[in-house]
Each structure stands twice: as C-alpha cells, then as structure tokens.
Chain A
C-alpha cells in the first residue's frame, strides 16, 4: 500500500473548514472566499461552478497550497496543510497533488515527454523511471507519437492532454483542474473530457473548477459558488460513462 493510499483511507481526501481568503485591506478589502466548508471523498469527481471572479480559482489555489488562507483550515488526507511551510507544501504538491491549468502552462522549450516527466524529476525519481512513466501515460492518452514534439507543434487539446499527463506523473491523491477546457475548441474539449472521465473511472480523485455547465455535468457532485461562498450542492447520480458527449452537448 502506497503512502498516498494509506493517507486516503483516513477520511475525506480533501477537507476545508471555515476557509476564508481576503485580498487588500480597508476600503479596498476583497473577500474572495467566505467560510467555505468542503469535503471531497476519495475517488470522487467534484465540479465547482460559478461565474468569473466568484472565487473558484482561489479555492483551487488554497487547496493545492499555492496560496495561504486568511482564516480556516485545509486538510489533505487527514493532515492539516494550511499551516505547513512553503517547503513542506512544495513536497506535498510534488507527491499528492496534480495541477491542470486552463492555459496549460507547459514549458515552451521542453518537448511533450520532457514536460510530462518534470514532476517526477522534481520528486527525485531517476531520469529513466521518470521518462518511462511519462511515455506510458502519453501512450495512454494517445500522444505516443507526439512525445518528442514541442508544445508549439501541438494542438490545444494535445497540450492539455500533456498537461494532464504531467499532473498524473507522480500518481497524486487528487488532481486539481482549473478550467481545463476553457481554452479548447469543441473537439479538443471532448478529448479532454474523455480523458478526465477515464481518470474518474480509474478512481482518481478530481476537483474540477469550471463555469461550463456541460463540463460540470460529468462530475459525481456539483458545487455552485457565488461571491466566495457555496450556494448550492447537487449530487449527480447518473454518472457520465457512455453519455459524455451527449452530456457535454458535443455529440448527438
């Protein structure tokens, strides 16, 4: 049993209590998150929806330890992480969290496979093991023949698939995806949705921030946000397998 698996059995993979985030001060104070309470179970896919500026991305950054909350708690696999040092948070991200960004954020000068292996190298894996894992994952997402291409030679969908492969490189407990299809056309969106769905089916815990209802419909649970708070929660019982394209409105 891996360390990640043992951590995941403690309780919810992700938990927040009274989470708040404020920017600025005085009259310029902006409350981006206000008393957010969240539990994400292992192997669950949670979609967070809301209009631009409602605090979705801030929530994601707090969960991933990229920002620190103004108040409240963040727990990952039973361990409180909001008080960890920058160094400890970085180590945590390395092993337990995978990020997927709307803008892909691939290194322009690295090929697809070099981008994909980067987290494994940062985690201290051997170059051979890191490359093998990246190549396997690229093959799984149908990009084996694009492994040696630079991001500039890849389509938007391919770039996002490389970014997802990179997020999975260290077998994280949870993948945090910020508008993963926001920069993609319809066909590329479908490719990425299929990939996310396969991850869900494989038991990967996913938290997807989006403002697209069609993407949210593919999740197990949907949370709606407005002005920094959760305003609604919906259980989606039908799942998405086999109906992905239909749900996303991309296929008949």
Chain B
C-alpha cells in the first residue's frame, strides 16, 4: 500500500511540475480516443430511424422490381412479378406500380429521378408518410423527403418531370427504398436518382415509351426476419447470356430486395463515415504512440538524475519503471474518459441530417465494450510509448544517473563518412539524425502515417466527387458529410504530426545542445547549426512522405469496399510531399533557431561544471 502511495505521489508531482507537457499528452491521446469512440458508436446508429420509418409507413418486407434493359426493345413482362404475390410465405402485397426513369428540373437544376406511379388511395403496404402537404393527385407530385431537401423544394413549389410541369403537393418518407442520395434499387440500382411519386396516369405520361417503364411490387411476408432468404430463393441465378442466345430472348425476371438490404443501404453514408473514423482513429493512435514516445524519451533524458536519486534511496528498478509508467497511464485514462465523452456527444452531429427517415439517430449509447475498448487502446498507446524508456531508465546505473550522464549517442560510421562530403548543414543534419536512430525513425513514421492518412483522404475525396456514370449529382450533400469527416481526421492528423515534429526537434535540440555548441565554437555559424537541426528532421520527413504515398493508396484499398481504388491526382500527391517538406522545415526552424541562439560558451561551461 505504501509503495502504491509513493508511486502515486511521485507520478502526480511530476505531472504537476510539467503541466504543459501533461496537457499535450492528454490532447494527443484524446484525439485518438475521441475518433475511435465516434467510429465505434456510429455502428448501427441508423437502424433505429429506419425501423421507425418502416413501422410508420407499413414498409414492405421485400421489394420486387422488374425492368427491361435498355438494349432490349419489348415492353416489360409483369407476369413474373405478379406471380410473386402468390408465392408461399407472402401474406400481402401492394402494386405492381409503374416506375419511370426521368429527368427532373427544379430551382434551375436538372437531375435524375425515378417517378413511381401510385394510387391516390392509401396503400396497405408502403404508404409513404407525409412530412409536408398531401398525397398524390393528378398533376400533383410528392417528393421523397431527402430528395426534396437536396432540391430545395417543398409543398407548394413546382417541378418539371420530363418536360411536364407538376405542383409539389407533398413531401414524404418511405422504407421501400433508401433515402436520396443513396443507391436506390427499385428496378435498376441507381445512385443519385431521387424518388417522386405521381399518379399512375401521370407516371406513364412522363415515360418516353413503354419500354422505359418498369414495375415494382411490395410484399409482406409471414416471417419478416427471413426476408433475405425469401429474396435469395426467388432472385434469378447469374447466367452467361450473350445477345442472340435463346436465354436472351426470355422475359426479364424480377429482382428482389429484402428490407434488411434497404436498411443497410440507408446506413451506407454513416457506414462510410464510421469506416473513415475507425481508420482515422487507428492512424491517430499510431501517431499518438510516436508523439508520446518522443516526448517520453525527451523527458527521461531530463529525469536521469531523478531516477538516480530514487534508486540511491532504495527504489528498485521496478519501482522506478512503475513511477514513470504510472503518470502516463493516468493521463491515458483521463484521455480515454474525455474521448469517450466527446465522441458520444459528437456522434449525433454526423447522423442528424437523415431527412429521408423518421426521427433522428440521437446520441447513441456507450456500451461497456466500447468503453472497455477505448480505455484499453488509450492505455496501450501510453504503455507502448513509455515502456522502453521506462525500462531503460530503470536499468540505468545509479552512479551514472546521479552524475546525470547523457546516454551515449549511436555511431553510424558510413553515415559519418558520407556526411563529410556534404555541405555543412547536411553534414551536421545527417550526423544529428544518426545519433538517435530511434527518434529519427519515429519522426519518419509519424510523417508516413500522416501522409498515408492524407493520401487516403484525398483518394476518398476524389472518389466521392467522381460523377456516377449516367447520373447528374444534384447536390454534394452525400459527399459533404463524408468530406467533413475526412477533413476533421486530416486536420487532427496534421496537427498531431506538427506537434510531433516540434517535439522531435526540441528533443533533438536538447540532446545535441553540446554538439551544436561545440560545432559553433569550432566555426559553424548559428544558421548552419539550426539548418543542420532542421535537416535532421526534414530528411526523415521527406522519406516518410515518400513512404506515405503508397501507404495511403494501400490503406484506401484495404478499407474501401469498392474493388476499384481511386487514387488522388498526381499533382495532389506531389503537393502533399512538397507541403510536408515545407511544413516540417517551417515547424522545425523555430525550435532549431531558439536552440542555436543559446550562447555556446554557456552550454560548454555547463558541461564542464
């Protein structure tokens, strides 16, 4: 008990002595835990609004659609669709309703749409719930709520469908298809094609010809949870059917979609955000390890004498290690708590704008597993970064520690030989970098992680902004939210990497103060010394940036479910490398200049004392 109290006292006092460093540590780990919490709590967050909508609209268990492919010219055969209404397990149905692919015009913009012909009477299955106005009537259209939101129209406005003008009489939500702009699979699967309900007659009137009309049938099953099995058993099996083959002449079979699939598509946007956040949180956690390792390494160097004193008065190596570990674990626990709170509070900001569904996702619950996982990650980050310096400090000879002897630098003979042929700043920079290879590698990894994140975010951004073939994206809202998430992660990564670069430079400047002072006494100018210190950071940063480019492409390929990975344009990748080098040069110049300005005589005298 006494030993625990001692560990607590020493750790707490050391933290209080350096509040700025403790705060930086806290913020660094908190960035990772907040992002991780966000990623974890978003899991399944959209289920609730979808299920509310399904209940409120008498949503179908299965939606079956049929349409003739554009290369065939005969009208669609609905016999297969009608037959499904009598299939075993089906208890009720609505439809078939005609579906027409159209061009909509509203507020000066023309976009793709799907006009569904409905009865003016209420349907027993899939009766869209009005959020504004009234249900369809002749010459009166009802627009899906998220689509209306993106178009900027509401009840009382006017739209044009395939050249014909309609009054918007209502706005409604449905569970039979995903809200705009998610992929809608009523007949063909289309992205960015919003739904408009018209009367059956009006819907047919906007079809250019009979072959462009598809049909959709809503089914209720006796066993709704088994909807996927039902859909799979009735969906056509894939076959290689070339034009001119007998099979190519057969009627087109209906395609069935279970309500669980629609729910997943509805959550696609949040799922993408969740994937981005989880990936970002791992990158941030790795970056946090690098930052803390550098910070702890620097602090250990400054604490050598304290370690010696502890050991001289009877502290065992394990006690010394425990004291050093305890303070970082304590900060990690605080950061985990703060990150869990912030992540939980921020989650609704990412899900609130689900206009196409009934009700908001609200603040998702923090489960015990989420709390445990986030806390474990925070502690693991602290321990991973601290354990090596702590064990090294614990093993340090008491006599050497009391004398505050600096840890011997590493000698890399080939690098020293190579550097002799280079200009003075490079000579000094390479030798400084070679003195502490672990710190140099940490600096390089930090930049590689950040650049990987940026490159992956740029790729995702490019992918989001690539127009879907045959579609005219009405509103960048789908891209906007994910872009916002990517931007926040990127900014956090860049901020952490910047802090890390300053940490590394400062730790290097402290570690090399003797060498720098000596170099100045021997004739190196302060500019050469500070340029050397900057070079020691810029060279690993350049290497890290170059490693980060393929790293980011690989990262995006690993986390993106889309088999084709979009790579950001070459100019953007080159700009990232150049910007990284410039940013590191600027960031490291400040601590390097401060360090190089300290009088050389003072440092050399201090070393003698």
A114 contacts B416, CB within 8 Å?
A: yes
A248 at the interface (CB under 8 A from B): no
The interface residues of chain A lying within 8 Å CB-to-CB of B224 are: none
A90 at the interface (CB under 8 A from B): yes
B420 contacts A95, CB within 8 Å?
A: no
A127 contacts B524, CB within 8 Å?
A: no
B519 contacts A108, CB within 8 Å?
A: no
A152 at the interface (CB under 8 A from B): yes
Q: How far is the CA of A38 from the CA of B32 in the complex (A)?
A: 63
The interface residues of chain B lying within 8 Å CB-to-CB of A170 are: 523
With known contacts A66-B600, A66-B601, A67-B599, A105–B523 Cβ distance under 8 A: no
Q: Which residue of B lies closest to A130 (CB)?
A: B420
With known contacts A110-B416, A130-B420, A122–B519 Cβ distance under 8 A: yes
A166 contacts B522, CB within 8 Å?
A: yes
Q: How far is the CA of A61 from the CA of B608 in the complex (A)?
A: 14
- Chain B binding site: helix, strand, loop or mixed by DSSP? helix
A119 contacts B523, CB within 8 Å?
A: yes
A91 contacts B523, CB within 8 Å?
A: yes
Q: How far is the CA of A127 from the CA of B434 in the complex (A)?
A: 19
Q: How far is the CA of A219 from the CA of B360 in the complex (A)?
A: 91
With known contacts A67-B601, A103-B607, A127-B421, A109–B522 Cβ distance under 8 A: no
| Total of A-B residue pairs, C-beta within 8 Å | 87
A: contact size bracket: 35 or more
The interface residues of chain A lying within 8 Å CB-to-CB of B607 are: 103, 105
Q: How far is the CA of A127 from the CA of B422 in the complex (A)?
A: 9
CB distance from B461 to the nearest CB of A (A): 45
Q: Which residue of A lies closest to B605 (CB)?
A: A57
With known contacts A101-B608, A130-B420, A122–B523 Cβ distance under 8 A: yes
With known contacts A87-B527, A108-B409, A130-B420, A99–B521 Cβ distance under 8 A: yes
B520 at the interface (CB under 8 A from A): yes
CB distance from B514 to the nearest CB of A (A): 7
The interface residues of chain B lying within 8 Å CB-to-CB of A123 are: 523
A109 contacts B525, CB within 8 Å?
A: no
CB distance from B42 to the nearest CB of A (A): 50
B524 contacts A90, CB within 8 Å?
A: yes
The interface residues of chain A lying within 8 Å CB-to-CB of B599 are: 66-67
With known contacts A108-B409, A121-B420, A93–B523 Cβ distance under 8 A: yes
Q: How far is the CA of A121 from the CA of B410 in the complex (A)?
A: 21
The interface residues of chain A lying within 8 Å CB-to-CB of B421 are: 127
Q: How far is the CA of A108 from the CA of B410 in the complex (A)?
A: 9
The interface residues of chain A lying within 8 Å CB-to-CB of B608 are: 101-103
The residue among B420, B427, B520, B528 with the most chain A CB atoms within 10 A of its own CB is: B420
B411 contacts A150, CB within 8 Å?
A: yes
A109 contacts B409, CB within 8 Å?
A: yes
Q: Which residue of B lies closest to A169 (CB)?
A: B522
Q: Which residue of B lies closest to A172 (CB)?
A: B523
Q: How far is the CA of A102 from the CA of B518 in the complex (A)?
A: 13
A127 contacts B420, CB within 8 Å?
A: yes
Q: How far is the CA of A67 from the CA of B605 in the complex (A)?
A: 12
B89 at the interface (CB under 8 A from A): no
The interface residues of chain B lying within 8 Å CB-to-CB of A64 are: 521
A213 at the interface (CB under 8 A from B): no
Q: How many residues of B are in contact with the other chain, CB < 8 A? A: 32
The interface residues of chain A lying within 8 Å CB-to-CB of B528 are: 90, 122
The interface residues of chain A lying within 8 Å CB-to-CB of B434 are: 109
B515 at the interface (CB under 8 A from A): yes
CB distance from B342 to the nearest CB of A (A): 45
A107 at the interface (CB under 8 A from B): yes
A197 at the interface (CB under 8 A from B): no
Q: How far is the CA of A101 from the CA of B600 in the complex (A)?
A: 13
Q: Which residue of A lies closest to B409 (CB)?
A: A109
Option from B518, B521, B605 in Cβ contact (under 8 Å) with A107? B518
Q: Which residue of B lies closest to A152 (CB)?
A: B408
Q: Which residue of B lies closest to A110 (CB)?
A: B416
Q: How far is the CA of A61 from the CA of B435 in the complex (A)?
A: 28
A109 contacts B435, CB within 8 Å?
A: yes
B526 at the interface (CB under 8 A from A): yes
A124 at the interface (CB under 8 A from B): yes
Q: How far is the CA of A124 from the CA of B425 in the complex (A)?
A: 11
A118 contacts B408, CB within 8 Å?
A: no
The interface residues of chain B lying within 8 Å CB-to-CB of A150 are: 411
With known contacts A86-B525, A105-B514, A124–B601 Cβ distance under 8 A: no
B424 at the interface (CB under 8 A from A): yes
Q: Which residue of A lies closest to B413 (CB)?
A: A111
With known contacts A66-B601, A109-B411, A130-B420, A86–B521 Cβ distance under 8 A: no
Option from A91, A105, A110, A117 in Cβ contact (under 8 Å) with B604? A105
B526 contacts A94, CB within 8 Å?
A: no
CB distance from A54 to the nearest CB of B (A): 14
The interface residues of chain A lying within 8 Å CB-to-CB of B518 are: 105, 107
Q: Which residue of A lies closest to B597 (CB)?
A: A86
Option from A66, A109, A127, A130 in Cβ contact (under 8 Å) with B521? A66
The interface residues of chain B lying within 8 Å CB-to-CB of A110 are: 411, 416
The interface residues of chain B lying within 8 Å CB-to-CB of A118 are: 519, 522
CB distance from A43 to the nearest CB of B (A): 23
The interface residues of chain B lying within 8 Å CB-to-CB of A119 are: 522-523
Q: Which residues, 379 to 432 on B, are CB-close (under 8 Å) to A?
A: 408-411, 416, 420-421, 424, 427, 431
Q: How far is the CA of A67 from the CA of B601 in the complex (A)?
A: 7
The interface residues of chain A lying within 8 Å CB-to-CB of B408 are: 108-109, 152
CB distance from B338 to the nearest CB of A (A): 42
Q: How far is the CA of A87 from the CA of B515 in the complex (A)?
A: 18
With known contacts A86-B525, A101-B604, A117–B420 Cβ distance under 8 A: yes
Which 7 pairs of residues, A with B, have the shortest CB-CB distance? A94-B523, A66-B601, A90-B525, A61-B601, A109-B411, A127-B420, A103-B608
* Extra pairs beyond A90-B526, A122-B524 (9, CB < 8 Å): A90-B520, A90-B524, A93-B520, A102-B608, A105-B607, A109-B409, A109-B431, A152-B408, A166-B522
Q: Which B positions have Cβ atoms within 8 angstroms of A?
A: 408-411, 416, 420-421, 424, 427, 431, 434-435, 514-515, 518-528, 599-601, 604-605, 607-608
Provide a sorted-by-A list of 15 A–B residue pairs whose CB atoms are within 8 angstroms: A66-B599, A67-B599, A91-B525, A101-B604, A102-B608, A105-B518, A109-B408, A109-B410, A121-B424, A122-B424, A122-B519, A122-B522, A122-B524, A127-B421, A170-B523
